[in-house]
Amino acid sequence: MTAMAYIRRFVRAFVAALIVLFMGASMALAQTKQLLMWQEEINYLQKTSSDELVGQRAAIVQFRNGIEFWLKHHPSSTVSLPSAPPQPWGGVELRKQVSLLGQAVETIMKEDPSQPFNLGVAAVSHRWQLESC
């Protein structure tokens, strides 16, 4: 085998390794994005009134189905989501579902090693003075 054949073989293996690496990174990024979207949705739903939650019933059911799907595909997760009560859900049941879903998302985010260490927003004040020599 010539040196050129070894180089071609090496380049192919290197390119294949890069493709696998980038595919894995993009899947992790997509999963992180999904968790952040869930967190935003929970924040919105927690601030809405019970009457507005009734109008969002289908979205809450879909949200719950998404978390149940995630849990099904992550059997090592310690997140527990109690069974849903029979439908139709009124404002009180929906408020409880939003609370349960919020706890589940919070636990999922704590368990997920791809989540960055997040301290939140911090205000920093700095004062300096120029002294003459």
Helix axis angle for 3-47 and 91-111, nearest 10°, is 150
Q: Give the Å distances, CA to CA, from 22 to 77, 89, 101.
A: 25, 43, 31
Answer whether residue 36 is part of any domain: yes
Q: Does residue 23 belong to any structural domain of this protein?
A: no
The residue range of the domain holding 61 is 30-111
Tally the domains of the chain. Answer: 1
**Cβ atoms of 94 and 57 closer than 8 Å:** yes
Instruction: Establish if 121 belongs to a structural domain.
Output: no
User: Taking 50 as the threshold, does the pLDDT of residue 25 lie above it?
Assistant: no
Q: Considering the chain, what is the average pLDDT of its residues?
A: 78
Give the pLDDT score at 75. 85
- Confirm whether 132 is domain-assigned: no
Amino acid 35 reads L
- Identify whether 51 is part of a domain: yes
pTM of this prediction?
0.61
Could you tell me if residue 17 is inside a domain? no
Higher pLDDT, 63 or 123: 63
Residue 28 pLDDT greater than 50, yes or no: no
User: What is the per-residue pLDDT across 80-113, written as a single tens digit (0 to 9) for each?
Assistant: 888 888 888 888 899 999 999 999 988 888 877 6
Q: Domain for residue 10, yes or no?
A: no
Domain contains 7 = no
